[in-house]
Structure 1
Amino acid sequence: MKQVGGWPLEWQAVCDSSNSELLRRSERLPDRYALVVDAQTAGRGRQGRSWHSPPGANLYLSLFARLPLPARALGGLSLAVGIGVAETLRGLGAEEVGLKWPNDLLARGRKLGGILIEIAPGRDARSEVVMGLGLNLRLPAELDVGQPAIDMATLGHALAREALLERLLPALGKVIDAFCVSGFAPLRPRWEALDALLGRVVRLSAGARCEARVLGVADDGRLRLADAGGEFCCAAGEVSLRPADAG
């Protein structure tokens, strides 16, 4: 099996969900493992949403890792993974790529990709984590994903999956290692340099506050916001947000 950036890399033609596949096999996997599939029949996004996964069009990648951290210390991991992906894409020339808290990749105000972190039941102080990435490389023209979307080809960067993985997997290994050593706090400036909503007013989908201005992120990865009542923070899973001027 080919190793890329310290990750044993497996390719599959099709499965229900690359994340689900690795979760099912977690007990038998080495401490790091990567799976790419050509198509998913039941791709999943955040909060139980479906992830459209047409065959051969995009990158569907899941990483399995045993991390020396308890589950309670993993808040901010999705942000760290987002940093690794966005910085890699920018390094390949896609300077328009940014991040939307907590797990989306954006470009030109449209969704370019998403990250889904899932934790397998642990048996010790370590956590078994699956980190899924769906990245739009070339969307079929007829595909309706239910929201404004964009792909790398439209941005002028038609990337082959193999070449992208050669850059992406080492970068993700490094940012995950950094997170395990020091947590999210030292990574926070890198996130805020990529934050597509920093300083903008957003509309929240839950809670008493309806609109607030994004101030950045806290050292633990929570979103920092301010409204007429003052500054407050939200954790991933508590709210969804979108720019207030997005309609």
Structure 2
Amino acid sequence: MSVKYPFNIVRFERLPSTNNQLKSLRKDQAIPEFTVVITCAQTAGKGQAGNSWESEPGKNLTFSLLLKPTYIEIQNQFVISKAVALGIIDVFMNFSQDFSIKWPNDIYYRNQKIGGILIENAISRNIITESIVGIGLNINQEVFTSDAPNPVSLKNITGTDIELNNLLEQVVNAILKYLEKIKTLNSDSLNRQYLNNLYRKEGFHPYKDANGEFMARITGINEYGHLELETSHGDKRSYAFKEVEFVIS
């Protein structure tokens, strides 16, 4: 039987950003860990490095989750991203086995993007005192009008509408389950689970860095969350966020 974790949901009809709203709430008052801020319409959703996130009002899940992971040291912060992505994948696997995690924190269906994660950490004395985890998941939206190259939704995949509140509860509970596992699992075990669910986990594929395109295979994710690749010529390379691009035709 699956464990259900207590979490508090704060709903808004319309917001520029759930991450910013959650940061504003916790400045004004003490709010408990696992508070969720969710909106039907997010007008200025953010992705990594300032990218925007398109979401049709009332069709998708756009929310932020407050964590207080004081048991995680700053050098291990990428473990939060692993837990969040694995929680989402666990739920989405109920719809199809073709979901994966595109490093560092996108959720993919085959070669199309269905979700993104933006994590903002507050740090004190080498400890993560607070994490605000912003999540955008394409659920019932059928048509995408932005210049995003490869969006897809659960309805595009399944052909049916998904009940959003029930799915939100499933996703948050799955994430919190993995956060609990961080306290008991060794890092090798969690890293294996993450690697087993990675997009392009097998074989050589095209990538692009500052020097141009090349073929490489994924060999791992290091302790800092960097992507480790081996090129078709046998060169070993390590990349931080935004230093390398997946070339997707």
Which range, TM-score by smaller chain? 0.7 to 0.9
Deviations 1:48-100 (A, max 9, x none): 1111122111110211111112333202421321111011110x222221111
CA distance in 2, matches of 1:205, 1:181: 37
Gaps of 5+ in 1: none
Deviations 1:77-125 (A, max 9, x none): 21321111011110x2222211110111111311111111111354884
* Cα distance, 1:137 vs structure 2: 0.7
- TM-score, structure 1 as length reference: 0.86
CA distance in 2, matches of 1:26, 1:200: 45
CA distance in 1, matches of 2:182, 2:23: 21
Indicate if the aligned counterparts of 1:212 and 1:225 stay in contact, CA closer than 8 A.
Answer: no
1:230 to 219, 223, 235: 235
User: In structure 1, what residue type is equivalent to 2:107?
Assistant: L
Matches within 5 A, 1:28-43: 28-43=30-45
Which residue does 2:49 correspond to in 1? 47
Q: How many residues align?
A: 239
Indicate if the aligned counterparts of 1:44 and 1:51 stay in contact, CA closer than 8 A.
Answer: yes
Matches within 5 A, 1:3-42: 5-27=5-27, 28-42=30-44
Is 2:138 the counterpart of 1:159?
no
- TM-score, structure 2 as length reference: 0.86
Deviations 1:185-215 (A, max 9, x none): 3212222222221123231343x47424232
Deviations 1:17-61 (A, max 9, x none): 111111223342212211211111110001111111221111102
Matches within 5 A, 1:40-189: 40-68=42-70, 69-90=72-93, 92-120=94-122, 122=124, 125-141=127-143, 143-156=145-158, 158-182=161-185, 184-189=187-192
Q: Structure 1 145/35 Cα, relative in aligned 2: closer, same or farther at 3 Å? A: farther
Name the Cα RMSD after superposition: 2.3
CA distance in 1, matches of 2:194, 2:228: 13
Q: Aligned residues: percent identity?
A: 24
Indicate if the aligned counterparts of 1:23 and 1:120 stay in contact, CA closer than 8 A.
Answer: no
* Cα distance, 1:139 vs structure 2: 2.0
CA distance in 2, matches of 1:40, 1:5: 26
Mean Cα displacement is larger for which, 64-73 or 180-189? 180-189
* Cα distance, 1:132 vs structure 2: 1.1
CA distance in 1, matches of 2:170, 2:89: 12
For the residue of structure 1 that corresponds to 2:165, the secondary structure is helix
CA distance in 2, matches of 1:122, 1:16: 28
For the residue of structure 2 that corresponds to 1:149, the secondary structure is coil
Mean Cα displacement is larger for which, 220-229 or 42-51? 220-229
Is 2:212 the counterpart of 1:241?
no
Q: Structure 1 205/172 Cα, relative in aligned 2: closer, same or farther at 3 Å? A: same
Is 2:214 the counterpart of 1:211?
yes
Q: Structure 1 85/216 Cα, relative in aligned 2: closer, same or farther at 3 Å? A: farther
